[in-house]
A and B are shown apart, each in its own frame.
Chain A
Amino acid sequence: MSKRAGNNRLREAAAGYGFMSPAILILGCFLLLPILYAIFLSVHKVNLLGEVSYKFTGTANFERMIDDQRLWIALRNTARYALIVVPSQTILALVLASILNMKIRFRNFFRVAYYLPTVTSSAVLVLIFMWIYNTNGLLNFLLEKVGLPTYNWLGDPSVALAGIMIMNIWSTAPLFMVIYLAALQDIPQSQYEAAEIDGAGVWQKFWRITVPQLKPVTFYVVVMGIIGTFQLFDQSYIFSAGSGGPNNATLTMVLLIYQYAFKNLDMGYASALAFMLAVVIMLITVIQRFFFREEKLN
């Protein structure tokens, strides 16, 4: 009897590892191993020419960051970008979701339509916007029509980042809208009914019930927005043809890492930058998870 139970357990273990083995193999080789390798690279100087060789340099790569002018430019761009994009897309997402949550006709049509930018590749979106932004393009045409100043959206350093911002608010807000929409449907209808009996109007209900109830989701959306800002790459790469120009106006953290790694072939320093970026992003994620869990328990 006990032998049979043991056999059974063995068979279960074999089945378990069998089911897990492809995932273990892939995640092990292309996620866990690279993480360790990344830490190794970040404390070495890597020579890629000829035979790959490494020279241990301790914290030199990290110390180098302090004097790296372009890193500070990238960080400043990221901060400026986050300050405008994150609040804008969050508010837009909340407004759209609240409206779509009302009893309206064609609700599904609007939901499906609004989501369209999110399923389109960033390469395509950037090209479409470059076509709209070019000096003789649609945007300048419309601005001129209503008597506003026109810009060289792609070549003028003072507006190039704004061009990416507008595009990203437009393409990311619908994603967060869907998250808000799901959260709105979880708010118990009875709360609104109770408020109605107390004579609360549409606005009061929105500010007193909807907004407070959505606090954890808003927190989540804001954090995701900030992380997305740190991870910005495709858009600035395509816009600037990989340079981060004009005059570093569209330089982002990941683009900087890419340039150091694949243009300057300075893999050690690039890895150190990637490591710092990952630490920052993970800290933000951990803080968010921590608060989110707290909120849920309350």
Chain B
Amino acid sequence: MSRAAKRLKPLVYVILGIYAVITFVPFLWALSASFKSMPEIVSGGMHIIPKHFTFDNYRTIFRQEPLFTRWFLNSAIIALSVTAFNLLFNSMAGYALARIKFPGSTLMFYSILGMIMIPGQLTIIPSYLIIKELGWLNSYQAIIVPMAAQATYIFMMRQFFINFPRELEEASQLDGLGRFGTFFRVVLPLAKPALAAQTIFIFMGAWNEFLKPLMLMSDKAMFTLSIGLNTFKGQYISFWNYIMAASIIMTLPALLIYIFFNRFFVQGVTFTGSK
């Protein structure tokens, strides 16, 4: 390493450290508020470690807000179903586009590429009218079904299967497994890295989705956490201790998924570019 680079080293760590602090402070500040009592927050004490550490905020939002648990469950049901359907449907479609020759496959591939470029804002209003016409407003399927397959990840799976070694499939076909058997017993189990990358993005996308539940769910019992939090804010104006406790609860599942699947993250980001 050159001398100039060596001289820069301490500076580099200082910059990295400062930026780590900038990243963490908002989260720590929220976490700290979630363990503070209301009087402590009002008194304006600006210390990050609560003076009187309390779990009351968490207890209150779960016990006195019966809908909070419901919102959590709604979010979980929606995010888990969306993830499961996407893993299955996107992989199936991606595999067909990569491996199976059938009339119209090229057209479908280019249609998928085109769909990736369509901004979601274009379809917000018509989707709402279609879902309303189906009588799905205030139901889980209103969010789950339209999100159950996504063009971006179909393309991603197609690229994955294109580079997948053919020999394994040929061997299993010789063993008498058909296309479906080969796919479910041989191909899918070996596609774990691609599936993991998909899991992170799709779960987080569904868990954090804001606009769809906002327009499709008007019944409070069908709110997801993201919408619920927003109502919560209106209801408990300046009760920041409750609002922050609820925010922490909402962050945890996505955070756990991120930590758990972290090593698949980078390849996913560089592939999809942007969420």
A residues sitting closer than 8 Å to B (CB atoms) are: 11-13, 15-20, 22-24, 26-27, 29-35, 37-38, 41, 52, 95-96, 99-100, 102-104, 110-125, 127-132, 134, 136, 138, 141, 170, 174-175, 178-179, 181-182, 196, 201-202, 220, 224, 227-228, 231, 233-234, 237-238, 241, 254, 257-258, 261-262, 267, 270-271, 274-275, 277-278, 281-282, 285-286
A231 to B275 Cα, complex, angstroms = 12
14 residue pairs of the A-B complex, CB under 8 angstroms, read A19-B183, A22-B85, A30-B127, A41-B125, A116-B23, A119-B254, A120-B251, A128-B27, A138-B46, A170-B26, A238-B210, A254-B211, A261-B124, A267-B125
A31 to B121 Cα, complex, angstroms = 11
Tell me if B's interface is mostly helix, strand, loop or mixed: helix
Q: Which of B59-67, B93-101, B164-172, B190-198 contacts A (4 or more CB under 8 A)?
A: B93-101
Give the residues in chain B near A20, CB-CB below 8 Å: 92-93, 96-97, 108
Given A27-B115, A33-B130, A233-B211, answer yes or no on A121-B251 (Cβ-Cβ < 8 Å). Answer: yes
Contact with A along B221-259 (1 / 0, CB 8 A): 000011101100110001010011001001100110011
Asked whether any CB of chain A lies closer than 8 Å to the CB of B84, the reply is no
Asked whether any CB of chain A lies closer than 8 Å to the CB of B126, the reply is yes
Taking each of A34, A99, A270, A278, which has the highest tally of chain B beta carbons within 10 Å of its own beta carbon?
Answer: A34
A278 to B117 Cα, complex, angstroms = 10
B residues sitting closer than 8 Å to A (CB atoms) are: 1-2, 4-5, 8-9, 12-13, 15-16, 19-20, 22-27, 29-30, 33, 44, 46, 85, 88-90, 92-93, 95-97, 100-103, 105, 108, 112, 115, 117-130, 145-146, 148-149, 151, 154, 178-180, 183, 204, 207-208, 210-211, 214-215, 225-227, 229-230, 233-234, 238, 240, 243-244, 247, 250-251, 254-255, 258-259, 262, 265-266, 269-270, 273-275
Given A121-B251, A121-B254, A278-B119, answer yes or no on A23-B149 (Cβ-Cβ < 8 Å). Answer: yes
A132 to B204 Cα, complex, angstroms = 24
